[in-house]
Structures are given as structure tokens and as C-alpha cells.
Amino acid sequence: MKQKALIDCPACGNSLSKSASTCPKCGHPMDQANYPMLIAKYVLAFLGLMVLISLFAQASHR
């Protein structure tokens, strides 16, 4: 029998498919796939904040 790629749920230890977005047993979200996306979102938010701060700094400097 061919084994599918399985990972263990960090919450309940249930074996589930790597492609599952949530654990079918306990519903724990499997976010290993979108973890880089989460970092990218934080970086983008941080860069946007820096741009806003520099714009405010320039506006108040005049």
C-alpha cells in the first residue's frame, strides 16, 4: 500500500494528509503551507507602516 505524505497534528497527534488545511479530528488549523504568506503579510504591513511614518515625518517637517 502506497503511503501518502502524512503529518501529525500538533494539537491531538492525529495523522492527517499534508494537503489538509485543518485536522479532521480536532479542527486544528494546519498553517505550515501558508506560514511564508503570513510572514510576507507582516513584512508588507511593516513596510507600509514605515512609508506612512516617513510621509508623516516629511509633512510635519515643513
Interacting residues with Zn ion (CB under 5 A): 9, 11-12, 14, 23, 25-26, 28
Smallest distance, Zn ion to C-beta of residue 6, A: 12
Candidates 9, 48, 53, 15; CA nearest to 32 is 9
Q: How far is the CB of 5 from Zn ion (least distance, A)?
A: 17
What single-letter DSSP state applies at residue 6?
E
CA dist 59 and 55 (Å) reads: 6
Q: Which is nearer to Zn ion, 12 or 43 (CB)?
A: 12
Residue 18 or 25: the one with the smaller Cβ distance to Zn ion is 25
Coil, strand, or helix at residue 32?
coil
